Chains A and B, each alone.
Chain A
Amino acid sequence: MSWEDQGRQEHGWFGNGTAPVNPKDGASGKTSTNTSRGDFATALAYGAIASMPAAQRARAEAAFQGRSLTAFREAMLAWMRGTGMKPEAFADRFFGRGANDPVVQALRDAAELAMTSTAHADMAAASGKVADAMQRVGLDRWSRFVVDAQTRASDPATEAAIKASIRAPDAITPVYPVEFLLGAGARSAAGLLRAGAAALARQLTPEGRPADASPVTTADKPGNDGSPSSPVQRPGNGQGAGNATSAVGNIDDVLQETARRSGNFTSANKLSQTDALDAGMRFLGPGYREIGKPGSGVFRSSDGLRQFRIDDGSLAGTHAPGVQHVHFEVYATSGSRLPIVNNHVPVIP
């Protein structure tokens, strides 16, 4: 079954298939800490989309197209840093509005929740606040709103106000747990990405199948692709540790190998958390849903043929073989329980 035959969106949800936000190009995303914050802000955006009523989700996605997502990410980082500002100053500096403005209140609440989040429920609540703000602003106007907000947030005077409001800028660190769920939420299938804790050693194993291998077919079964087993391997085995490739640009590779290969295998690529999220969203397409227990981290496409799995054990690397990874799985039929493809993709922090 080819990728196209499965009916997925070739263009992906957020443009050209590259990461919606490059963690390295954010205004303040120069350090690992800020990169994590950036991923966190991006997670809020995805969570907000997912928490929208189904009928509005496509418009919500569109509201984050183009520069909007980057602007939101950078603005949210500033709002998070600015939660120590007095409400009036926060509202005026960031939005040019009054402190009682419901949009301001919703986004300030979201920023505060993001800063203090310790549980999935907090993330869900923060995403819900962002969604509420989007609704109030209007989905058609959201993109312009966040671009304007980002412009205000990057104003030197605003930055000065932020710094004046905090004692030690670098001491502010979101306290959400390592395994916080991007999407946060169970009922809205909001979560798709969890932050990773430790760096993974590069765990590449040779592709056992030529690049032009035939497409996955329903006849294929895990382990029957004729290739040597290429399972996830434990970190610390000396295989190129520290030799991680750039995650940017690997999303398409991961999706293509998932479409091309069969059985259980370890991806020849590694993805950043943000890229893993984007890849998962593209893989699932619109209308996906969370299955299993709320907050399970197991997401199934609307046609039941694709599964993006970021369960706690896989993401944290707590179950064998101890490598942080996510799963891209393909089923022959919606009633199948054995995936004909199970691509184990290591995640880099």
Chain B
Amino acid sequence: MTAIPLEQVGRITKGSDTGQFVLVRGDQKRTGGFLIFHSSTPDVFSASEVFDNWVELPSDLETFFAETGWHVDWQPNLDASTTPSG
């Protein structure tokens, strides 16, 4: 089981996209995999700038994060759909 939480915004504290925000969404019903979104703001689903990647398996998710070199501070209080003030 992956330690990477789903549907939770995290702040990238180390790696290629330091300072950006990431959210992983399970997409089992459609693709059978996982979508990884990252954006410059925590409002991942309403941000104007968002990138998405896809992996198939939970183990792939672990590999993906390892390859990015990301260290992520998962922040359960961040709302992915809300544009932060300021």
Taking Cβ atoms with an 8 Å cutoff, the residues of A that contact B are 221-224, 229, 231-234, 237, 264, 291-293, 296-298, 309, 311-314, 319-321, 327, 329, 336-339, 342, 344
Distance to closest chain B CB from A84 (angstroms): 35
Extra pairs beyond A231-B49, A298-B31, A311-B31 (4, CB < 8 Å): A222-B51, A233-B49, A291-B56, A339-B53
Cross-interface CB contact of A319 among B17, B40, B45, B64, cutoff 8 Å: B45
Q: Is the CB of B54 within 8 A of A320?
A: no
Q: Is the interface of B mostly helix, strand, loop or mixed?
A: mixed
- Which residues from A are CB-within-8-Å of B48? 233-234, 237, 321
Give the CA-CA distance A232 to B52 in the complex, in Å: 10
In chain B, what residue has the closest Cβ to A331?
A: B67
Within 8 A of A (CB), among B29-86: 30-33, 35, 37, 39-40, 44-56, 60-61, 63-64, 67-69
Distance to closest chain A CB from B4 (angstroms): 12
- Which residues from B are CB-within-8-Å of A313? 27, 30, 35, 52
Q: Is the CB of B30 within 8 A of A293?
A: yes
In chain B, what residue has the closest Cβ to A294?
A: B32
Produce 1/0 per residue, B2-26, CB < 8 A to A.
Answer: 0000000000000011000000010
Q: Is the CB of B49 within 8 A of A229?
A: yes
Q: Is the CB of A293 within 8 A of B32?
A: yes
Q: Is the CB of A320 within 8 A of B47?
A: yes
- Which residues from B are CB-within-8-Å of A292? 31-33, 54, 56
Give the CA-CA distance A320 to B22 in the complex, in Å: 12
- Which residues from A are CB-within-8-Å of B25? 319
- Which residues from A are CB-within-8-Å of B49? 229, 231-233, 321
- Which residues from A are CB-within-8-Å of B45? 319-320
- Which residues from A are CB-within-8-Å of B37? 319-320
Q: Is the CB of A229 within 8 A of B40?
A: yes
- Which residues from B are CB-within-8-Å of A319? 25, 35, 37, 45, 52
Q: Is the CB of B67 within 8 A of A298?
A: no
Give the CA-CA distance A320 to B45 in the complex, in Å: 5
Q: Is the CB of A222 within 8 A of B16?
A: yes
Cross-interface CB contact of B53 among A229, A237, A296, A338, cutoff 8 Å: A338
Distance to closest chain B CB from A313 (angstroms): 7
